[in-house]
Amino acid sequence: MKTPRVSLRSRLLYLAAAAFLPLAVVSGISLLALVHQQREQAERAGIEITRALSTAVDAELSRSFAALDALATSTLLDAPDLRRFHDRAVRVSATRSQWRSVILHDSKGRMVLNTASAFGAPLPPTTESESVAYVLREAQPAIGTISRGANGRYSFALRVPVLRDGELSYVLSAVISPDGIREVINRQRVPSDWVVSVFDARNQRVARSRQHEEFLGGPPAAGLLAAMEQPVHEGWILTPTIEGDKTYSAFTRSLVTGWTVAIGIPISYVDAGALRSLFVYGGGILLSIILAALAALLVGRGIARPMAELGEAARALGRREHLKLPDTPIVEIRQVAESLSFAADERTRGEAEREELLERERQARAIAEEANRSKDEFLAMLGHELRNPLGAISNAAQLLGAPDEESRTHARAVIGRQVQHLARMTDDLLDAARAMTGKIVLQRQPLDLAEAAARALATLRAAGRTGRRRLAERLEPVWVDADPTRIEQILGNLLGNALKFTPEGGTITISVEKVGDEAVLRVSDTGIGMPPALAARVFEPFVQGERPLDRSYGGLGIGLTLVRRLAELHGGSATAASEGPGQGSVFTVRLPAARAPQVERRRAGTKSSAPVRNVLVVEDNEDARETLRRMLELGGHHVRTAADGASGLEAVRSAPPEIALIDIGLPEMDGYELARRIRSEFGAGRQPYLVAVTGYGMPDDRKRTLEAGFDLHVVKPVDAALLADVLERG
């Protein structure tokens, strides 16, 4: 007779369920009932507290209305004798600790008196005019919404009509600090871990028991606001506070003032009893587990023998001997024994797979060595690319001492070109590093990709860089949501790459079209092409094709890396294709297309030339300092210089300049400290326009200079065009 088979998991589950399932069900039902009862009690208590708080707030407002009504009956308003009434209003306001001022508007809504200003002095504008208009229209008292005054402080106004012979003569207002309402709720002795807030008729916060100043004038938390906007005058909900803490919130809206009082009670306060019950429930579960364990021990006696046989089978597997499977009714043990037999068959296959993994490891090592070789080649290439402009600058610097003006002019032109070349090289390196580390922050805006491509082509033609190559274009207007500067970099790198590798007489074609929901930019050429293996890796950092000894193609091998990374940051992609050496190349960039904006195009006006300025240059590098001085003097500006922060501060003290160009890395007193000292020592009318001139251009660097007091952050090197723009801004 065949032995019936049953799984070990099923047998143990039956025993455990028989022990603890009934207890768990009963305990769970009791716990739910207890939690429900405690929450109902907390709801009733919370609403009662908000009613009491609402009554206290109404009483405080009523006392202020009573004082204001008494002042409105003054006979000084009959004459009227506004000067004496002003004095009396000041005395009354002094008796009310939370009154900030008393204001009087005439029947036209014009402010005629404000105790915050001396009598006869110019009066500030009315901060919150809607309640004034209501009193003028309805001749009834009103409470204004909380708002920030000209002095930057929050307050709200109580307004009453001044009636004479049944006609409204004035509107009398008391401007009250929200601190008075906060004192009212603090006097109610609500537990410190509860949150109490008071909101005006527009649900703007008037007072809060915690962080009163920080959240003054703001709205309630989203969940509470939704409940308060319902057509009920009180309620109870579970919602997070502004800080994100989960609370049970009760609120009551006053039928007299329309103001709402809300309290937030921590969940732990309401559910504390339920937590205690959980311990009881857990004890019952623990007892059930113990009973289940005892039952499992009984079952385990029937498992020991086949498990011992299973262990012997495992040892036989290690010795590569024939396996004897245990004869047991437990399905899982039989499955394990069969798995051991299967494992023996898999051993040979595993050894083969291990060899395959070793081969993959060797391939990975080869790839890593290739990457290391590419890095070494890049460093050597960078040294070569730097030596060329540095050599030209060195030679041109020697020509500056030549006696003839032609040589000196030529030397200056060489230095200018090579410095721009070095600056572009440095910018490419920094952009590539930021792109690969994800530190580029895109300044997105709607952009016509075809128009950007047309501008890039126009720039190439205007600069005469195309030579005898033919440029073809197929540009379909396609809009993208992109950073114009980064799109310009993508276009510049792709077109520059095509020009570099396309000989004279060749053709370069740029196209823009919309394919599905993508904007597709293609730059193709009839140049030297590349092998398929290189096309697959050409976007990797420092990867280049074979280079001749004369390095006629030049470059650092990072331009295409930057293209792909910028495309990915925009949510797109970049690919390359070539049919082989001598067959040309096609580079494709795909970006998410966007809807064309409905905006009016405007022609930008021309900028006027910068006026003559009084400029101070603070720079510790003598060459940089003298170069800036000469460039400024050539523009007709009055220039003084200083070599460190202390002498720069003395120069500002002796004769404050209009503009100060300050290097950040100054000895002893750095540029940040110098800017802070200048801002603290000079009044608003004597402050110079401070420009930080530095080699650091990351967003954090710009933020730090602005926090130190600088008006503008400029990254070295500073050419004539940038300098003229700085002087015009200043």
Band (259; pLDDT cuts 50, 70, 90): very high
**Phi, psi at 693, each rounded to 5°:** -115, 110
Output the six-digit token pair for 656.
């404050």
Output the six-digit token pair for 721.
């065009």
715 contact partners, CB below 8 Å, separation of at least 6: 694, 695, 696, 697
- Predicted local confidence at residue 349, as pLDDT: 74
Is the distance from CB of 544 to CB of 555 less than 8 angstroms? yes
Q: From CA 631, how far away is CA 624, in angstroms rounded? A: 11
- Predicted local confidence at residue 723, as pLDDT: 82
- Predicted local confidence at residue 619, as pLDDT: 93
* Over residues 400-413, mean pLDDT: 80
Q: From CA 199, how far away is CA 164, in angstroms rounded? A: 34
For 61-83, letters b (16+ CB in 10 Å) and e give beebbebbeebbebebbeebebe
- Predicted local confidence at residue 426, as pLDDT: 75
Q: What string of DSSP letters covers 494-510?
A: HHHHHHHHS-TT-EEEE
Q: Tell me: the pLDDT tens digits for 161-183?
A: 999 888 999 999 999 999 889 99
Output the six-digit token pair for 58.
């109404």
Say what angle helices 484-501 and 559-569 make with each other, to 10 degrees.
Answer: 150
The DSSP call for residue 244 is: S
Share of the chain above pLDDT 90, in %: 35
Instruction: Tally the residues of the chain.
Output: 730
Output the six-digit token pair for 480.
């993208």
Is the distance from CB of 653 to CB of 676 less than 8 angstroms? no
- Predicted local confidence at residue 20, as pLDDT: 61
- Predicted local confidence at residue 146, as pLDDT: 92
Q: From CA 561, how far away is CA 538, in angstroms rounded? A: 8
- Predicted local confidence at residue 477, as pLDDT: 92
- Predicted local confidence at residue 365, as pLDDT: 82
Q: What string of DSSP letters covers 245-310?
A: -EEEEEEEE-TTT--EEEEEEEHHHHHHHHHHHHHHHHHHHHHHHHHHHHHHHHHHHHHHHHHHHH
**Residue 607 above 50 pLDDT?**
no
In three-state secondary structure terms, 717 is: coil
Domains assigned to the chain = 8-287 (3.30.450.20), 442-592 (3.30.565.10), 614-729 (3.40.50.2300)
Is the distance from CB of 498 to CB of 534 less than 8 angstroms? no
Q: From CA 385, how far away is CA 395, in angstroms rounded? A: 16
The one-letter amino acid at 75? T
**Residue 242 above 80 pLDDT?**
yes
- Predicted local confidence at residue 354, as pLDDT: 80
Q: What string of DSSP letters covers 29-96?
A: HHHHHHHHHHHHHHHHHHHHHHHHHHHHHHHHHHHHHHHHHHHHT-GGGTTT-HHHHHHHHHHHHHHS
Is the distance from CB of 104 to CB of 113 less than 8 angstroms? yes
Higher pLDDT, 292 or 649: 649
Q: From CA 269, how far away is CA 246, in angstroms rounded? A: 11
The DSSP call for residue 6 is: B
Q: Tell me: the pLDDT tens digits for 654-675?
A: 989 999 999 998 988 999 999 9
Positive or negative, the CA dihedral 62, 65, 66, 67 is positive
Q: From CA 685, how far away is CA 672, in angstroms rounded? A: 21
Is the distance from CB of 648 to CB of 662 less than 8 angstroms? yes
* CA nearest neighbour of 386 among 432, 422, 416, 423: 422
Q: From CA 175, how far away is CA 114, in angstroms rounded? A: 10
Residue 99, burial from CB neighbour count under 10 angstroms (0-12, 13-18, 19+): buried
Q: Tell me: the pLDDT tens digits for 299-349?
A: 666 676 777 777 777 777 677 677 677 777 777 777 777 777 777 677 667
Is the distance from CB of 591 to CB of 522 less than 8 angstroms? no
Band (600; pLDDT cuts 50, 70, 90): very low
Beta strands of 598-723 (E only): which ranges?
A: 614-618, 638-642, 659-663, 689-694, 712-715
- Predicted local confidence at residue 402, as pLDDT: 78
- Predicted local confidence at residue 599, as pLDDT: 45
Is the distance from CB of 237 to CB of 168 less than 8 angstroms? no
Omega of the bond leading into 503 within 30 degrees of 0 (cis): no
Higher pLDDT, 206 or 418: 206
* Over residues 592-617, mean pLDDT: 66
* Over residues 48-68, mean pLDDT: 91
The one-letter amino acid at 506? G
Instruction: Share the mean pLDDT of the chain.
Output: 82
* Over residues 589-598, mean pLDDT: 88
* CA nearest neighbour of 515 among 573, 598, 577: 573
The one-letter amino acid at 347? R
Tell me the sheet residues that pair with 11. Answer: none
Q: From CA 415, how far away is CA 397, in angstroms rounded? A: 8
The one-letter amino acid at 583? Q
Say what angle helices 8-72 and 82-95 make with each other, to 10 degrees.
Answer: 140
**Residue 576 above 70 pLDDT?**
yes
Band (612; pLDDT cuts 50, 70, 90): confident
Q: Tell me: the pLDDT tens digits for 464-499?
A: 778 889 999 999 999 999 998 889 989 988 998 899
Share of the chain above pLDDT 70, in %: 81
* CA nearest neighbour of 539 among 436, 429, 440, 450: 436
Residue 645, burial from CB neighbour count under 10 angstroms (0-12, 13-18, 19+): buried
Say what angle helices 405-437 and 559-569 make with each other, to 10 degrees.
Answer: 50
- Predicted local confidence at residue 593, as pLDDT: 94
Q: Work out the angle at residue 85's Cα, subtended by the Cα atoms of residues 148 and 161, and round it to the nearest 5 degrees.
A: 60
- Predicted local confidence at residue 544, as pLDDT: 65
pTM over cut 0.85: no
Q: For the ranges 239-243, 381-385, 656-660, which has the lowest average pLDDT?
A: 381-385
**Phi, psi at 225, each rounded to 5°:** -60, -40
Is the distance from CB of 32 to CB of 356 less than 8 angstroms? no
* CA nearest neighbour of 596 among 510, 481, 456, 512: 481
Give the residue carrying structure tokens 């005892």: 294
**Residue 553 above 70 pLDDT?**
no
In which element (H, E) is residue 102 found? strand 99-106
268: number of Cβ within 10 Å: 11
Give the residue carrying structure tokens 């309805």: 138
- Predicted local confidence at residue 567, as pLDDT: 92
